[in-house]
Structure 1
Amino acid sequence: MTTMHPAAIAFRDQAALRARCDIGNVRRVHGEPDYENGAVVPAGDWSPLPEDHPERYAPGSFTKDSGLVEFFRLPGTVTDVHTVAALVDLLGDPLHVALDEADDPPGELVTHRLPENGLCLGLHVDNHQNLPYPDRDTARRLCVNLGPGSRHLLLADTDIKSICRTVHDRYETHCPHTDDLRMFVALRKPLKLLRVRIDPGEGWLAPTAVLPYDESTEGAEGQGRWSTTASWLGHWGRDLFDPLI
C-alpha cells in the first residue's frame, strides 16, 4: 500500500488554523469552456476543518524547510510589490526568481491560467525547474496578497510524489506533472483540498513543485474586489517571518 504524505503546515494555534481553513473534495472538469479538459477543481462542498485535523498536517521531526507550508503577515512598512521585492532580496537566497504578478477578479473558482490559451489549469504543481522525482523537494514559492480583496490558497492534502508512486510503476525516473494528479483523481483515489484564507498584507511559502495547489477568489471576504499577488521562487529556511497562525 502506498504511503501518502500530507501537507506539512506550520502553525502554533490549532484554533487559528481552523478559523481560516476549510476542507472539501475535488472534481474533474469536462467540456467547460474556461477550463483545460481534465482539470481538477474544488467540488464546492466546503466544511470547517474538523477539530482533530490540524494534528495531521503538523510538521514532523524530519520535515525539511523546503517541504514546509508557512503563513505570515507582512511588516507594516511593506505595502506594494516594490517594497515586497526589496524584502525578498534580504531573505537569504541571492538566486531567487521573480514570477509574474497576477491581478485576479473576484469570484474565480481557480485563478491560475495557461499563458498560451488563457484556460484555467486547476489544481497543479509548478514545473519551472522540471525536476525529476528524486530531486523534487527543493525550492518553495513565496506569494503575497497585495489586495485590495482577500483570496484563498488551495492545497491538496497529498503530495505529487505520493501520487506518482500510485499511478506509475517506474516512478523513480519520472518527472512529476499535473497530469499525474489528474490521473490519480480519474482513478477515484481519495484526495481532499484545503482552502486557507489569505487577506491583504498576508502571504505564504509552500513547496508548490511537490504539493498540488491553486488559488481562488471565490467565497473570499470583500466580495467584488480584485486581488493582486506577487510571487517568487527560491530556497529559504523556515521562520523568516512572524507566523500568522
Structure 2
Amino acid sequence: MHPAAIAFQDPARLHARCEIAGVRRLTLRPGYETTVVVPDDDWQPLPTGYPERFAPSIFTRDSGLVELFRVPETVFDIHTLTALVEMLGDPFPITLGEVTDEPGLPVTHRNSASDLHLGLHVDNHQNLRYPDRERARRRLCVNLGPGSRYLLLTDTDIKSVCRTVQDRYETHTPATADLRLYVTLRRPVHVLRLRIDPGEGWFAPTAVLPYDESTSGQQLPSVTASWLGHWDRGVFGPLI
C-alpha cells in the first residue's frame, strides 16, 4: 500500500495537528450518496514513529506530494489570493470556486449535480486511467475562515485500491466507487485528519489520494477557495 506523502520538517509539528482513525460505510443516509465511506470518528494521536511513514521518498513526484502552508500576509481577500495563484507557475490553473461550509459536518464535499455528500472520494476532473494517474493536477485549497477545518486523507492511494478490486486495473479509470468496494470487502484503510486554520492551505494529489474535508467539532463556518494545477513543490514555505 502506498501511504500519503506529506512534506514536513518536524515530526512533532505533524503530531500536533494530525490524528488518525478507521473508516466505516454509511448506507442510505439522508443527504449522502447511496453508500459512502466516512471516518469512524475514533480519532487517535498518531502512534510514535508514525510521521516517518508519511515522509516523502526520493521517488515521490511533486504531483504526489501533500503540502501544508500559511498564506502570505500580502493576501487579504479572494482577489489577492486569486492573483497569487496565477503566479505560482501553472499558467492555466482551473478555478473550482468558493464554498461555505457550516460547522459540525463530518464530511463537506458534495456532488454538484445531486448536492449529496460524497464521503471520502477521488477527484476525476481529468478522468485519467490507471497508468496516467500521477499526471493529474494537484488540488490547492485555502481556508478563508472564520472557522478552522480539517483535511481528510486516506493512507492508501486509489491505484493500490484498484489493484485489489479490479481484475484489469491497468486499463481501468480509478473512481470513488473503487474505494467504496474496497471498504465493503473489509480491506484495511485509515484516514488522517489534518487541522487547517484560517489563513492556511494545502496542496494534495486528490485524483490519487482519496480525501474530503470536515468541520466536525468547530463552532464557526468556514469558506474555502480551491484550484487545480501543476505546481512544483515548495512554492510556499513549509507550515510543518
Determine if the TM-score, normalized by the shorter chain, exceeds 0.5.
Answer: yes
CA–CA separation in structure 1 for the residues paired with 2:220 and 2:77? 17
Q: Tell me what 2:168 maps to.
A: 170
Q: Tell me what 1:62 maps to.
A: 59
CA RMSD of superposed structures (Å): 0.7
> How far 1:36 moved relative to its partner?
0.8
1:61-84 superposed Cα distances (whole Å, 9 cap, x missing partner) = 110000000000001121221111
> How far 1:87 moved relative to its partner?
0.4
Q: Tell me what 1:209 maps to.
A: 207
Give the unaligned 5+ runs of structure 1: none
Q: Is the 8 A contact 1:79 1:146 kept in 2?
A: no
SS in 2 for 1:18: helix
CA–CA separation in structure 1 for the residues paired with 2:12 and 2:98? 32
The equivalent position to 2:229 in structure 1, one of 234, 239, 243, is 234
Q: Tell me what 1:38 maps to.
A: 35
The equivalent position to 2:14 in structure 1, one of 14, 17, 26, is 17
SS in 1 for 2:181: helix
The equivalent position to 1:98 in structure 2, one of 95, 101, 106, is 95
Aligned pairs for 1:45-124 (under 5 A) are: 45-124=42-121
The equivalent position to 1:141 in structure 2, one of 130, 139, 142, is 139
> How far 1:114 moved relative to its partner?
1.0
Aligned length: 239
Q: Tell me what 2:157 maps to.
A: 159
Normalising by structure 2, what TM-score?
Answer: 0.98
CA–CA separation in structure 2 for the residues paired with 1:100 and 1:176? 24
Q: Is the 8 A contact 1:141 1:234 kept in 2?
A: yes
Q: Does 1:125 align with 2:122?
A: yes
Give the unaligned 5+ runs of structure 2: none
In the TM superposition, structure 1's runs of 4+ consecutive aligned residues that sit over 3 Å from their partners are none
Normalising by structure 1, what TM-score?
Answer: 0.96
CA–CA separation in structure 2 for the residues paired with 1:11 and 1:29? 33
CA–CA separation in structure 2 for the residues paired with 1:104 and 1:80? 18
Amino acid at match of 1:194: L
SS in 2 for 1:82: helix
> How far 1:118 moved relative to its partner?
1.3
CA–CA separation in structure 2 for the residues paired with 1:49 and 1:81? 34
SS in 2 for 1:136: helix
> How far 1:224 moved relative to its partner?
2.3
1:128-187 superposed Cα distances (whole Å, 9 cap, x missing partner) = 010111111121000000000000000000000000001011100000000000000000
